[in-house]
Amino acid sequence: MSPLNLKKGSTSHSAYNLRPNFSDVEERHTLAVLVENEPGVLARVIGLFSGRGYNIESLTVAEVDHTGHLSRITVVTTGTPQTINQITAQLGRIISVREVHDLTVEGKAVERELALFKVQGKGDDRVEALRLADVFRANVVDSTLDSFVFEITGDVGKIDAFAELMRPIGLVEMARTGVAALSRGGK
């Protein structure tokens, strides 16, 4: 009989701990990427995601510094912490990329999205659509005798909740801008 009945890798204190320390939990992360505003940069950034099979939930791009020729790409993606770290590191190696920030990890951030909803209905459905729009602080930007177009701004959860409530009333079409995000605080 062996004096020590320890199985290989049985505890985290074992010298032979063979259990991986990687998390397999998928997390949602918002990445802010400052890039040089030149042809092909967006294609290279998106190519990194598609070439490795990473999913993009939201993508927003706009020029933020006209004199410095800089654009900001905001990407919302999901993955394990290891995958997100790998994405961030690989983005940083692209020549035209100036900065990469994982807003989810760096602290609190403000995230907003703009959406337009076309809702069709008559009678009580119209009244209900207007009532819900008022509750969600959505603006009516177009109105006909049988439809409305609502404009709503807020976080992703608010936009999703508004869409779910408008579906049974007569949601016909929806357009979303994607997430725009900034970190909070003075830095």
CA atoms lying within 13 Å on the CB side of residue 157: 1
d(CA 96, CA 92): 9
Of 166, 101, 14, the C-alpha closest to 5 is 14
Token duo for residue 41: 């940069």
**Band (56; pLDDT cuts 50, 70, 90):** very high
Question: Where do we find the tokens 């830095």?
Answer: 187
Alpha helices in 37-155 (DSSP H): 41-51, 81-92, 103-106, 124-135
Question: pLDDT by residue (tens digit) across 77-119?
Answer: 998 888 899 999 999 999 999 999 999 998 888 999 999 999 9
pLDDT band, very low/low/confident/very high, at 6 (cuts 50, 70, 90): low
Residue 99 near residue 64 (C-beta atoms within 8 A): no
> What gap in Å lies between CA 103 and CA 28, rounded to an integer?
11
Q: What is the CATH number of domain 27-106?
A: 3.30.70.260
% of residues, the chain, pLDDT over 90: 70
User: Can you list the alpha helix ranges (DSSP code H) found in 62-180?
Assistant: 81-92, 103-106, 124-135, 156-170
Q: Which two tokens stand for residue 60?
A: 């927003």
Domain ranges within the chain, ordered by starting residue:
27-106, 110-183
Only one residue has tokens 């939930």, namely 57
Does pLDDT of 59 surpass 60?
yes
Question: Which secondary-structure segment (H or E) carries 24?
Answer: none
Provide DSSP, 37-57. --TTHHHHHHHHHHHTT--EE
Mean pLDDT, to the nearest integer, of 26-53? 91
Domains 27-106 and 110-183 share a fold: yes
Is it the case that residue 9 has pLDDT exceeding 70?
no
pTM (predicted TM-score): 0.77
Higher-pLDDT residue of 96, 18: 96
d(CA 64, CA 37): 9
Angle between the N-to-C axes of helices 156-170 and 124-135, in degrees from 0 to 180, rounded to the nearest 10: 170
| Average pLDDT of the residues in 41-53 | 90
What's domain 110-183's architecture? 2-Layer Sandwich (3.30)
